[in-house]
Chains A and B, each alone.
Chain A
Amino acid sequence: MEFVISHLVKNYGSKQVLKDVDFVFEEGRIYGLLGRNGSGKTTFFNCVNNDIDINSGEFFFRGESGEKTPVMPEDIGYLVSTPTVPEFMTGREFLKFFIEVHEEIKPDKTIDEYFDYMMVPEDDRDRLLKDYSHGTKNKMQMLLNIIAAPKLMLLDEPLTSLDVIIAEEMKNVIRNQKQGRITIFSTHLLDVAVDLCDEIVLLHNGRLEPIDKSNLGDSDFKEKIINALRDEDNG
C-alpha cells in the first residue's frame, strides 16, 4: 500500500503555503517531515486530515495492484502537537468510550493492559483528563490512535515539550507501531528526525523533497539538510 499525494496546492489568500506537493509514501516506513517553523507542516497535515479545504490536487491510497482507494476519515490517525482530550472524562472512561464507538475494533487487551502498554501511571487512570500532564495527554492520544489502527498516522511534532523519558517511550511506541501503516512524523528538530525516521522529507518552499538518508553517518549530512532549508530564504 502507498499513500499518494498528487499536485496538492493550498493557499491562504494570496499566500501559497503548499505549492505543488507531489509525493508517494510507502507502507511500513516512518517518514520524517522536516521543515522550518511556519513552513506549512501543520497545514499539510490539516489538508490530508480534511480539516481544511485544498485548492487543487488529490491524495489517495494505492494498492498492490495499483488500484486507487479514497482516503476515509477512519483511515487517518492524527496526533496534534498540543494534545487535546475531552477533559471532563477520566482516562479510563475515555478509553472505554473510544473502544465502544469503534465497533470494528476487537480489542486484544483489557483497558489496563492498554494503559500498561503506553506506560500511563496507575494513579492517573481514574483522574479527569484535564488534570493530566502534557506528556500523559500525549500518550493517551497516541494510545487511541494505536487502538484505532489507522492506515495513515500523522504525527505533528508529538515529541515537542515532552521530557526525555516520555519522549524516548513515545519514540519506541512509534517504532513498534510502524508495520502495516504509513507514519508521517513532522518535526523541526533534525536530530529527532534522523534518530526516529526511516526516510526524511523536506517540506521546502511549499514542496516535498526526499533526502537520501543512506549517508546518515556522513558528517556532512546535517550540513546538507541545513543548507537545503536555508535555500528557502534565498528562494
Chain B
Amino acid sequence: MVNEFRKNLAKIIHLRSIIGYNGLVFALKKTPVIGKLIPDRLYSTTFLKVIYWIFHIIVEVFKLFIGKIFGLGMIYLAAFLLSDQYIEHELGGGMSRSAVFGNLGLFMFLLYALCGILIRVPYFNCTTEKEYLVFMLRMDAKKLNETLICYDLAKLFIGYVMAGIIAVITGAPFWLWLGIPVLALAVKFLGIGLQILSFRLKIKLHKSLKISTVAYLIRLTLVLLAGPFFIVFIANGYFIPMPQLVIITVLTVIAGIWGLMIFIKTDSNLHRRALHDNISKTEVKATSQYDNTKSFKKFKAKGTIKGNKKGFDYLNALFVKRHWTMLCMKPVIFTIIVVAVMILLVAEFIYGYYSRFGSENCWNMVITNLVNLFTFRAFSDALLPVGDDPAFEFLRYVAQFHLLGMLIPLSIADNSFKSTQAMFINCDNSLMTFSFFKQREKIIRLFDIRLKQLIKINIGPVIAIGAFANLILFVTGGQSYPGEYLVTFLVAFLLSVLTSVTWLALYYLFQPFTTSVVAKSGAYRITSIIIYSVASIIVWIPLASYILAPVLLVFAAGYVLFLRSRVNKLAPKTWKIKS
C-alpha cells in the first residue's frame, strides 16, 4: 500500500513538474520579442528541468510554511492576544490564561475549518495533471485522489504541528498542539464526505457533478455573514464554555471519521465521474492565451438595413446593427454618467446659491440666467457672487488652458480598440480569405467608412465632455471670447477623432489579432505604448483654447491624411490573418 502510494505520488509529481516546466517554456515562447529568441530545444534541456524541479520543491515548502503555518499561526496569535485581554478584564470565567488560550484557539480554529470546508474542497477539481493521469494514462481515479489527499493532509499535519510548537512556547496548552492537527484532518474528511454525499444525491437526480459556482457564492456569502457575529461575540468577551466546546469538537471528529468511512467506501467510478465533470485545466489556462472570442459572438439576426445602402456601406451598417451593444454600450454608459454628474453639479450649485442668498434670489438667478441665455446669450453677471472663488478660478483656468486633458476621459469612453477586435473576429477574419477584400481601393473604402463610424460612436462622449468643460466655463463667468463654447466642443471632437483614427490605423497597419482576438504583434504593442507615452505627456501642456483649436485642427487633418495614406499604401500587405 505504502509502495503504491509512493509510486503514484512520484508519477503525479513528475507529471506536475513536466506540465509546469513545459507551460513555463511555452509562455516564454509566446512572449513578444523574447519568444522568438527561445529555441525549441529548451523543452528538452535537462539542466533547466532540474532547476525548475528545485524551484518547484521550494514553492511546495513555501506553500507548506506560509499557507499552513501562517494560517494557523494567525489564529494562535489572535488567541494569544485575546487571552491576555480576557484575563486582564476578567472575562475568562475563572479559567487560567492557558485555558483561555486553548478555548479561544480551539473555538476560532473550529470556525475557520468549518467555514473552510464550506468554501473549498478542492479534491474533485480536475486539473490538467489529473486529466492526463485519469483520462489519458488510465490511472485509477480513486487511487489518484487518495494519493493526493494523503499528500495534502500530510503537509497539513506537519505544518500545523510546527505552528503548534510556537503556540505552546507562547503559552498554549499542550493538548492544543496535537489536538488541532487531528481536528484539522477530521474536518477535511468531513468536507470530503459531505462532497461525496452531494455527488451521490446528484447522481440519483441524474444531474451533472459539476460543482456549482452559484452554490459556491451562496456558501461564501454565508461565511462572510458569519464574520460580524464572530467579531461581536469576541468583542463582548464571550466564549463557549469548555465542556460544550469539547462536545462540538468530539462530534466534529466523529463526523470526520464518518467522512473518512464514506471516502473509503466510495468506488472509483464516482471519483472518475466527479473529475470528468469538473475539468478545469488551470495550468493550461495559466500559460496559454485566453480565448475571449465568446464575448464577441453574442449577436442575433435582428432587423435589416433600411434605405439603399450598398456594398461596404451595407456591410458596415449591418455590422453596427448586429454589434450595437458591443460597440456603443460603453460610450453610451459613459455619456449617461457624465450627464448625471453634470446634473448633480448644477443641482448642487443651485442649492449652494439657495442656501447663501435665499429662495427668492435663487429663483431670480435661475430665471434670469435662463432668459439671458436664450435671448441675449449673456448670463455671467448673475453668477458674479460666486465668481471670485479661487477654486472656481482654478477650474476656469483648466477649462480654458487644459482642454488637451479631455483626451483622458475621451480615451476612457473610447471603444475603438474593442471595435477593431470585433471587426476582426466577426467580419474581417473571414472576408480576408476573399481576394476582393484585399484590393487596395476596397481596403481604403472600408477604412473610411469605419473611421466615420467610430467617430459617430464616440460623438456622445464628445458632446458630454465638451458640455462638461463648457459648464465649468459657464459657471465661472461664461466664455471669454465669442464662440469659446463651440471651440471647446471642436477640441473635444478633434481629440476623439485622433483616438479613433489611431486605433483603426494601427489595426490596419499591424493587424495584431489572432483568431482568439489576442493582440499578438510586438510592433503593435510597442507602437501603442509609444503613442500612449507621447499622449500622456501632451495632455499636460497648457494652451489657450483659441490657439489649441486651430493647431489641433491642422494637426488632426494632417494626422488623419498621413495615417490614411499609410493604410492605403501598406494595408494590402499588412492587413491579413496572422499565421
Contacts and interface: CB of A to CB of B under 8 A. Distances in A.
B576 interface: yes
Nearest to A126: B301
Interface string A78-107: 101000111111100100111011100000
Contacts of A50: 438
B439 A88 contact: no
A19 interface: no
A93 B314 CA distance: 9
Contacts of B429: 84
A73 B438 contact: yes
A77 B301 CA distance: 28
A188 to B, nearest CB: 20
B430 interface: yes
Given A88-B427, A101-B312, A144 B577 contact: no
A98 to B, nearest CB: 8
Contact of B314 (A84, A97, A130): A97
Contact of A102 (B297, B299, B433, B436): B436
B70 to A, nearest CB: 48
Contact of A75 (B315, B322, B435, B577): B435
A86 B427 CA distance: 5
7 contacts: A50-B438, A74-B436, A84-B433, A86-B431, A101-B442, A102-B436, A148-B434
A6 interface: no
A90 B427 CA distance: 12
Interface string B125-150: 00000000000000000000000000
B483 interface: no
A157 to B, nearest CB: 14
A78 B312 contact: no
Given A88-B427, A100-B314, A78 B439 contact: no
A42 B300 CA distance: 33
A28 interface: no
Contacts of A87: 297, 426, 430
Contact of B439 (A46, A73, A128, A144): A73
B311 interface: yes
A84 B429 CA distance: 7
A41 B147 CA distance: 48
Interface string B201-215: 000000000000000
Contact of B301 (A46, A49, A75, A127): A127
B310 A100 contact: yes
A140 to B, nearest CB: 10
Chain A interface residue bracket vs B: 20 to 34
Contact of A93 (B312, B318, B438, B439): B318
Interface string A57-82: 00000000000000001111110100
B311 A100 contact: yes
Interface in B518-555: none
Given A51-B577, A73-B435, A74-B435, A88 B311 contact: no
Contact of A52 (B297, B300, B322, B579): B579
A86 B425 CA distance: 9
Interface string A16-50: 00000000000000000000000000000010011
A97 B311 contact: yes
A169 B309 CA distance: 34
Contacts of B442: 101
Nearest to B445: A101
Contacts of A77: 435
A89 B310 CA distance: 14
Nearest to A102: B436
A202 B311 CA distance: 40
Interface string B453-494: 000000000000000000000000000000000000000000
A96 B431 CA distance: 14
Nearest to A156: B433
Query: Taking each of A49, A50, A87, A141, which has the highest tally of chain B beta carbons within 10 Å of its own beta carbon?
Result: A87
B43 interface: no
Nearest to A150: B435
A144 to B, nearest CB: 7
A50 B435 CA distance: 10
Nearest to A90: B301
Interface in A177-196: none
B319 interface: yes
B435 A88 contact: no
A-B pairs with the 9 shortest C-beta distances?
A84-B430, A73-B435, A88-B322, A100-B311, A73-B438, A101-B311, A128-B301, A100-B310, A76-B435
Given A73-B435, A148-B434, A96 B314 contact: yes
Contacts of B436: 73-74, 101-102, 148
Contacts of A88: 299, 318-319, 322-323, 426-427
Contacts of A73: 435-436, 438-439, 572
A144 B299 contact: no
A81 to B, nearest CB: 11
Contacts of A86: 315, 426-427, 430-431
Contacts of B299: 88, 128
B431 A74 contact: no
Nearest to B577: A51
A49 B311 CA distance: 23
A74 B443 CA distance: 13
A189 B297 CA distance: 34
Contacts of B430: 84-87
A148 B435 contact: yes
B435 to A, nearest CB: 4
Interface in B395-450: 426-427, 429-431, 433-436, 438-439, 442
A184 to B, nearest CB: 15
A217 B314 CA distance: 52
A176 to B, nearest CB: 21
Nearest to B36: A13
